Every structure is written in structure tokens, then in C-alpha cells.
């Protein structure tokens, strides 16, 4: 199977051009290719497919083989792939996903897409749609018992579920312990991606993320969007912020008029390859 390894601020996936390749068992393939010793090494697998409804379709799988509904860093890389590899000449493209069609604007330099702005759609705050069993007032972070601690949590869906947790110290957080506590928490019937965030000032936050099905990743685009919405909702920041993640920064802006969230960031190709599965 031919593939292209790409990363969006360190959130790395194996991409397969399914206009040319066939992936019979994507879930098993995701597990195999994601293994950082016996496979290629990645946070998961992303299939680039033809679409009747949009220019392309993105299908995303986590490292544990579970299918995700949306991937912010991934969709920027999909846009870069289809432009750089000549599948389209358009610099405004649409990509269908399990959480609806997303619209992207590409910034091109020397014939390559270098920065991509994504309309990530509406943030979903109703607990039952996240889904989250725990009632929440979307404005104020609510205390939630997780493991031995109580955390301030604001839940936001960006087409996939996120628990945004405000903490004083992001860098020294024992995320290997706390992350799985959230991932398995009974308040989230479909599990959850958990972002641990510290507000630095009204325009800047720093975060780490424990992803459902992949563990800690260096970045999470949908997670950064959920963080920006949660910080603005709780009155901690402006509606447009720089989100600092382990792998780099993303610019997130929540347009309250249209209630749409925009994410801007880079996408890079690491290498092309072929793997015998």
C-alpha cells in the first residue's frame, strides 16, 4: 500500500490516496501502520476518497483502530495533499467528513500549500449532543469528579467530543494518569478527547491533549477549537486566540455572529512510502 506520512504541528497521520489505492480493512490497517515500532508510526490513518457531495472525502481512524468523526490537523494535511499532488488546482476546496462538509482556504507558495484556514463549523454545547451524561451550563465550567480529583470541565463538540479542563500547571500534569481517567469516564458515553489548558493572557492559551483512541498527541485541531470556545464562553479570553500546543501554534477564531469557528495552521509532508501489510 502506497502512503504519504504527513503532520500538522506534530499530529502525524498516515495518508492514503484512495483514488488510487484500496484499503480493505481500514481499522486493522490503522492499528498496524500507527505502531511506532512494528509499523510506520503515527497517531492514526486518514483515507482521502472521492466524494459525490464535496471535492473530496476524509475518513479518519485513531491509532487503536476506532473511527473518528473529524480531524482538524488531518483535514489541513488532506488539503495540502490534494493540491500539492495535483488532485486539484483549486485553492478553495470542500472536504466531506463524518461531521459534515468542511470548507478550506489554501495559501500557496512556490506551488505548494503552506497554510490552510478551515471553517470548522459550529461548536456544539448541548450536553446530550456532545454526548455527555453530566448536565452542564455551557457558560460556566462545572466541577466533575474524575479519579481522585475534581476538575473544572467545559464540554464542547466540534463534531467529535471534547472535555476542556482548566488547570494551573499544564507542563507537569500527569497526563498518562488523568487522560485515561477522562477517556473512560462514565459521563462520556462515546468516550472523549480531553484538553488540559492554562490561560496565559486574553489572547493566548497553552494546552496538552489526551486523545480518545490515540493517547497524548502533540496537537489536536478540533481540540484547539474546543479550547478556544470554552475559554471565550467562560470569559477567560477574547474570541480569537493563539493556542500553543506541544507541536506548535494554531490560530483559532470563533465568529460569534455566524457561530462558526475558524482554524488556521500549517501542514507538512514528511515522506512518501510503500508498506507491505
Ligand X SMILES: N[C@H](CCC[C@H](N)C(=O)O)C(=O)O
194 near ligand X, rule: CB under 6 A:
no
Judged by CB under 6 A, the residue of 160, 226, 228, 233 near ligand X is 160
Which residue reads 500547571 in cell numbers? 169
97 near ligand X, rule: CB under 6 A:
no
- Do the annotations mark residue 119 as ligand-binding? no
**E strands, the chain, where?**
2-8, 11-17, 44-49, 56-62, 67-68, 92-97, 100-109, 112-119, 142-146, 149-157, 161-166, 193-201, 204-211, 215-217, 240-245, 248-255, 260-265, 268-274
- Do the annotations mark residue 160 as ligand-binding? yes
Stretch that binds ligand X, among 109-117, 143-151, 218-226, 246-254 (CB under 6 A): 218-226
Question: Catalytic annotation on 220?
Answer: yes
Within 10 angstroms of residue 8's Cβ, the number of other Cβ atoms is: 29
Q: Residue 102: beta bridge partners?
A: 95
Chain positions 10 to 69 lying near ligand X, rule: CB under 6 A, are 11, 62, 68
Burial class (CB in 10 A: 0-12, 13-18, 19+), 134: middle
CB of 217 to ligand X, least distance (A): 6
Judged by CB under 6 A, the residue of 39, 138, 213, 247 near ligand X is 213
138 near ligand X, rule: CB under 6 A:
no
- Do the annotations mark residue 72 as ligand-binding? yes
| Distance in angstroms (rounded) separating the CA atoms of residues 224 and 201 | 16
164 near ligand X, rule: CB under 6 A:
no
Question: Catalytic annotation on 18?
Answer: no
> Which one of the listed residues 18, 77, 220, 225 is annotated catalytic?
220
Q: How far is CA 216 from the centre of its chain?
A: 12
Cell digits for 45?
Answer: 490513518
Closer CB to ligand X, 4 or 62, in the complex:
62
118 near ligand X, rule: CB under 6 A:
no
265 near ligand X, rule: CB under 6 A:
no
Pairing of strands 112-119, 100-109: antiparallel
121 near ligand X, rule: CB under 6 A:
no
Judged by CB under 6 A, the residue of 55, 217, 244, 267 near ligand X is 217
> Under DSSP, is residue 177 helix (H, G, I), strand (E, B) or coil?
helix
Closer CB to ligand X, 29 or 73, in the complex:
73
Please identify every residue annotated as catalytic: 71, 220
Residues that bind ligand X (CB under 6 A): 11, 62, 68, 71-74, 160, 193, 211-214, 217, 220-223
Amino acid at each position: 500500500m502506497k502512503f504519504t506520512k504527513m503532520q500538522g504541528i506534530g499530529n502525524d497521520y498516515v495518508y492514503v490516496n484512495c483514488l488510487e489505492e484500496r484499503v480493505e480493512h481500514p481499522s486493522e490497517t490503522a492499528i498496524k501502520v500507527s505502531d511506532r515500532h512494528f509499523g510506520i508510526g503515527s497517531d492514526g490513518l486518514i483515507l482521502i476518497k472521492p466524494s459525490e457531495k464535496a471535492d473530496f472525502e476524509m475518513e479518519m481512524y485513531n491509532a487503536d483502530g476506532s473511527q473518528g468523526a473529524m480531524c482538524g490537523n488531518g483535514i489541513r494535511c488532506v488539503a495540502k495533499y490534494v493540491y500539492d499532488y495535483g488532485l486539484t488546482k483549486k485553492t478553495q476546496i470542500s472536504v466531506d467528513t463524518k461531521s459534515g462538509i468542511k470548507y478550506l482556504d489554501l495559501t500557496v507558495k512556490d506551488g505548494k500549500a503552506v497554510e490552510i484556514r478551515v471553517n470548522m463549523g459550529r461548536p456544539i454545547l448541548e450536553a446530550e449532543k456532545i454526548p455527555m451524561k453530566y448536565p452542564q451550563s455551557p457558560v460556566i465550567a462545572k466541577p466533575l469528579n474524575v479519579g481522585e480529583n475534581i476538575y473544572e470541565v467545559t464540554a464542547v463538540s466540534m463534531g467529535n467530543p471534547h472535555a476542556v479542563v482548566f488547570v494551573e500547571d499544564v507542563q507537569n500534569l500527569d497526563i498518562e494518569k488523568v487522560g485515561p481517567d477522562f477517556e473512560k469516564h462514565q459521563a462520556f458515553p462515546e468516550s472523549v478527547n480531553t484538553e488540559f489548558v492554562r490561560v496565559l493572557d486574553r489572547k493566548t492559551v497553552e494546552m496538552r491533549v489526551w486523545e480518545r483512541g490515540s493517547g497524548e498527541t502533540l496537537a489536536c485541531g478540533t481540540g484547539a477549537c474546543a479550547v478556544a470556545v470554552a475559554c471565550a464562553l467562560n470569559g477567560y479570553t477574547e474570541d480569537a486566540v493563539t493556542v500553543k500546543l506541544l507541536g506548535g501554534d494554531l490560530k483559532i477564531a470563533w465568529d460569534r455572529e455566524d457561530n462558526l469557528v475558524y482554524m488556521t495552521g500549517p501542514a507538512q509532508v514528511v515522506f512518501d512510502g510503500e508498506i507491505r501489510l
